[in-house]
Amino acid sequence: MPSCLDEIIGFCNELCYKGTLQPMRGPAQDGTLQPMGYVHIDGMAISAGGSRFNPHEAQTIAAWLAANAENLKARYGKRLEDIVGIVTPFGRQVREIRNACAAMGIDVGRLGMTIGTVHALQGAERDVVIFSPVYSKHADGVFIDLSPSMLNVAVSRAKDAFLVFGDMDTLASAPPGSPRSVLARFLSQDGANEMVFEVPSRPDLSRGARGLQVLREAAEHDAFLLEAFASAQRKLCVISPWINSDTMKHAGFTEAIVSARARGAEVTIYADAHLTRERSRSGQDMFAEAHESLAGLGATLHAVQQVHSKMIWADDALLAVGSFNWFSAHRTGEFARHETSVVYRGEHVSHEIQVIEDSLKARILTA
pLDDT at position 183, please? 94
Separation of alpha carbons 144 and 62, rounded Å: 22
Residue 140 C-alpha from the chain's centroid: 15
Separation of alpha carbons 151 and 121, rounded Å: 12
Which of 23-27, 50-54, 282-286 has the highest average model confidence (pLDDT)? 50-54
Separation of alpha carbons 48 and 45, rounded Å: 10
In the DSSP assignment, the letter for residue 138 is S
The arithmetic mean of pLDDT across residues 1-9, rounded, is 70
Separation of alpha carbons 163 and 171, rounded Å: 14
- Domain edges within the chain: 6-193, 203-362
Percent of the chain topping pLDDT 90: 71
Q: What is the dihedral of CA 292, 320, 163, 192, to 10 degrees?
A: -40
Checking if the pLDDT of 23 tops 60, the result is no
Q: What angle do CA 293, 299, 300 make, to 5 degrees?
A: 95
Q: Is 99 exposed, middle or buried (0-12, 13-18, 19+ CB in 10 A)?
A: middle
Separation of alpha carbons 139 and 79, rounded Å: 36
Separation of alpha carbons 255 and 52, rounded Å: 45
pLDDT at position 338, please? 83
Checking if the pLDDT of 306 tops 80, the result is yes
In sequence order, the 6+-apart residues with CB closer than 8 A to the CB of 122 are 153, 157
Tally the C-alpha atoms within 13 A of residue 16's C-alpha that lie toward its C-beta.
16
pLDDT category of residue 72 using cuts at 50, 70 and 90: very high
pLDDT at position 28, please? 57
In CATH terms, the fold of domain 203-362 is Endonuclease; Chain A (3.30.870)
pTM (2 d.p.): 0.91
Give the class (CATH, top level) of 6-193.
alpha beta
pLDDT category of residue 169 using cuts at 50, 70 and 90: very high
| 175, 145 Cβ separation under 8 angstroms | yes
Checking if the pLDDT of 6 tops 80, the result is no
Q: What is the pLDDT of residues 91-142, one digit of tens each?
A: 999 999 999 999 999 999 989 999 999 888 877 899 999 999 999 999 888 8
| 86, 97 Cβ separation under 8 angstroms | yes
pLDDT at position 140, please? 86
The arithmetic mean of pLDDT across residues 231-243, rounded, is 97
Q: What is the mean pLDDT of the chain?
A: 91
pLDDT category of residue 26 using cuts at 50, 70 and 90: low
In total, the chain counts a number of residues equal to 367
